[in-house]
Structure 1
Amino acid sequence: MDITGNTVFIPGATSGIGLALALALRERGNSVVVGGRRTELLEKLAAEHPGVETVRIDTADPESIKDAAKDVLARFPELNVLITMAGVMRVEDWHRPETFLESAESTVTTNLLGPIRLIGAFVEHLQTRPDATIMTVSSGLAFAPLKITPSYNATKAAIHMLSETLRLQLADTSVKITELEPPAVRTDLLPGHAENEHAMPLDEYVAEVMSIIEAQPEAREIQVERVKFLRYGEARGDYDQVVAALNASDPH
């Protein structure tokens, strides 16, 4: 995608990577619409960042996605970029179903069905735009598993393969598929994670992402240097060592 001149919708961007990316894109001359579940957060965000538009959306609710899509497309018919940012990450113990099943189902609903439904709500419109992008959001954990977050790892691996496949299917359209692959970043995705010294500072992460988008507008996968340790372990032949190091240090 181009670094500027877009109209971008980012559901799940009231905090963390989503919000930081939304503000960075706004600074680069893009029109940005932020989506989130909590009305008070959206109102606060709009007050603190004039020019950033907001819409209420719960990406775990298919009807909310449909309603938000109608609202966004009615207000911003020039929309040409969708970033499927919303996601959850939970620690799970899979020894007994009562300790993981509810969490796993909820994670799949938000992290996998949410992006699928979002793409379903916008893909026809995006094909009418001369230059459009769907940016999916996977993770370094799509390629090397963190022991304590099985469902998160699995959903992000699914997002990676979905991205790869949609790129093939939509090759005959104006829609490009770009996959954002974060490493551990200092956000509140898990309790206490924003202070984790092993994770990448949020401002540094988003600055590097923006530099990649600017330098490589045709990039299929947006990978900061720190995620490549996880992303390419299997290709390098040191996958077992990567998994061992990841789970020894527990950077999430």
Structure 2
Amino acid sequence: MHISGNTLFIPGATSGIGLALALRFQEKGNTVIVGGRREELLARIAAEHPGIDTQRIDTLDPASIRAASAEVLARHPDLNVLVPMAGIMRAENWRNPAGFLESAEDVIATNVLGPIRLIAEFIEHLQGRPDATILTVSSGLAFTPLRVTPSYNASKAAIHLLTESLRLQLKGTSVRLQELVPPAVRTDLMPGHRESAHAMPLDEFIDEVMALLEADPEAREILVERVEFLRYSEVRGEFDQVVAALDAADPHGNAA
């Protein structure tokens, strides 16, 4: 995608990477709509950042997604970029069903079903735009897992292969599929992330992402340098060593 001249809807962008991306895209001359569940956060974003539109949406609720998509498209019929950003990450103990099942269901519903439902609502519209993009968000942990977050790892691996598969199906249409693959970034995704020495500062991450998009608008994957350690561990023949290093360096899960 080009970094200016777009109209983007970013559900799940009331904080962290999503909000930082929204603000940076606005600075680059894009029209940005931020989506989220909490109306007080949306109101604060609208007040603090004039020009950003907001939309209440609960990506766990299909009816909410349908209603929100209709409202967004009514206000912004030129929308050409969807960034399904909402996601959660939780530590789980799979040795005890009581310690993981409910969490795992929540993670899969949020991180996999949410993006699928969002894409389903917008795909017809996007195919009618001359230059459209779906920018998915996976993780370095889609390629090299962290022991304590099994469902998160699996959900992001699903997003990676969903992106690859949709790129094949939508070949020949106006819709481009791109995948943002973050490393650990200093946000509130999990307790301790914001203070983790292993996580990349948020501003540095966004700076590099925008530079990569500007340098190659057609990139299949947007990979900051720090995530390549995870993304290509198996290609380098170092999968087991990187898994062990992740667990030893950050055994409590602060390594998205």
| TM-score above 0.5, yes or no | yes
Q: Report the equivalent of 1:226.
A: 226
Q: Report the equivalent of 1:217.
A: 217
Distance 2:146 2:71 in 1: 38
Amino acid at match of 2:208: E
Q: Report the equivalent of 2:22.
A: 22
Distance 2:108 2:193 in 1: 21
Please report how far the alpha carbon of residue 246 of structure 1 lies from its aligned counterpart in structure 2 after TM superposition. 1.1
Amino acid at match of 1:11: P
Structure 2 residues without counterparts, runs of 5 or longer:
none
Q: Report the equivalent of 1:113.
A: 113
- Using the size of structure 1 for normalisation, the TM-score is 0.99
Structure 1 residues without counterparts, runs of 5 or longer:
none
Match of 2:170, SS?
A: helix
Distance 2:157 2:247 in 1: 18
Distance 1:225 1:247 in 2: 20
CA RMSD of superposed structures (Å): 0.6
Q: Report the equivalent of 2:148.
A: 148
Please report how far the alpha carbon of residue 191 of structure 1 lies from its aligned counterpart in structure 2 after TM superposition. 1.3
Please report how far the alpha carbon of residue 192 of structure 1 lies from its aligned counterpart in structure 2 after TM superposition. 2.1
Distance 1:140 1:11 in 2: 21
Distance 2:99 2:236 in 1: 35
Q: Report the equivalent of 1:187.
A: 187
* Aligned positions, number: 252
Distance 1:244 1:62 in 2: 39
Correspondences of 1:24-173 after superposition (within 5 Å): 24-173=24-173
Please report how far the alpha carbon of residue 193 of structure 1 lies from its aligned counterpart in structure 2 after TM superposition. 1.1
* Larger mean Cα displacement after TM superposition, 107-116 or 242-251: 242-251
Matched residues, percent identical?
Answer: 69
Distance 1:209 1:248 in 2: 28
**Structure with more of its chain in helix, by fraction:** 1
Match of 1:235, SS?
A: coil
Q: Which runs of 4+ in 1 moved over 6 A?
A: none
- Using the size of structure 2 for normalisation, the TM-score is 0.98
